[in-house]
Amino acid sequence: MLVSNLLVIPEEEPLLVTPACSMPHEVLSLSNLDSQFFLRFTIEYIFVYKPPQGEDYEEAVERIRNGLSGALVYYYPLAGRLRSRHDHKLEVVCNGEGAVFVRARANLSLKEFGPLHKPAKSWKKLLHKVSADGFLGIPPLVVQVTRLRCGSLIICAGISHCLCDGLGSSQFLQAWCQISKGAKFPSVTPAWSRDLLQSRNPPRIEYSHPEFTEVPDLCNLNTRLKSEQLQASSVIFDSAKLLEMKTLVTVHSHSKCTSFEVLSAHVWRSWIRAMDLHPKQAIKLLFSVNVRTKLQPGLPEGFYGNGFVLACAQTTVKDLTERPLWYAVKVVQRAKEILTDEYIRSIVDTLGDSRRRPDLNGSLVISQWSRLGLMDVDFGWGKASHVGNLSSDIYCIFLPVDSDGEAVNVVLSVPRSVYGKYEYYMRNITHNPL
């Protein structure tokens, strides 16, 4: 049986899980980073667990549902509802309306899902879709627990990106796990503190910020990405392969680099080479950088809002494809180095206009999930056998691989017409001089 034949049947009507005790009814403003139009979507996580041992299925579902209710005491904004102000900024009405919780069963066993490292379109059935008029009508937190035919469990969580970034989501998920396993309170106390990421008075935009600057699309790349059929790609780089890449770059450039720097440069280069673009086309690599400790003073421990900005590496197709990999690594490193406190504050001031969006012409966007701690999301049945995103997109995601703590699964959807070339470049790191 193919995963495309996946049938998911709800076992009960969707429930609204509310905080376990009465919480403040208030309206909380979101930060400039939270309110970006670019982030007005739901982050969708999937966790796959082997059949729970020594625990009845009904008891297991009840335990984690009660745990969710307990976690919402500490993260009560996730039980509220988002709304827009007159200035297009967002705020959350903390009314205790609740998170959506669905229990379902599927007609497949875990073996019939095929390779878990590559998301399939049918996986969307594993997370309840709330009928709503636009993004603001969707509850900030939607959870679905699906039992497979073999007894394995899949837990999917949809979390509003306007309320949590990747680190914040992981922090909440681990709090939910801890309380589900009997803890009275989470090990990390959540902090709201969104006021620390508002515009200065008066705003001071002191840098050019290329991530927001439009570049001419000489190749109709955006039209191509929207019109062509996309195919999901998954390429795993184990610790040995990452070390080989870093060593080769160090030998040729006489400087060190991190695994993220060399891998992101390699993915960017492979993607652009496969797309066969005009040599003079300006291209960007946008990647998320955690700024919690880069700000002065830093954001408090337990901050679970959007505490990242997009770094922007920029060059031309000609330079990226014809020059060695270490050149691309240097471009990525420069994009990180510029992120000082003043530069980040300037980004925050720029986003005082929440309608500002990153320019995606000729851009590849990478989000690093491999260092979020998602492998530690344990509801009492041990670590998940798979952790990842529910679907593949034109945004690239670096995922953790359980068998190797340093390994990274690179997931990206590319036009079907270039899929073979892209995978070839990704898997042959020495095709061109490094």
Residues belonging to the active site: 161, 378
Cis peptide before 119 (omega within 30 of 0): no
User: What end-to-end distance do the CA atoms of the chain give, in Å?
Assistant: 43
Tokens read off for 86? 């007159």
What the block records as the tokens of 150 is 């073999």
Of 431, 433, 430, 432, give the one whose Cα is nearest residue 244. Answer: 430
Token pair for 67: 């745990």
Check: CB of residue 35 under 8 Å from CB of residue 91: no
Say if CB 47 and CB 399 are below 8 A apart: no
Cα(132)–Cα(154) distance, integer angstroms = 24
The size of the chain, in residues, is: 434
CA 133 to chain centre: 24
Q: Collect all residues with Cβ–Cβ distance below 8 Å to 182 and sequence separation of at least 6.
A: none
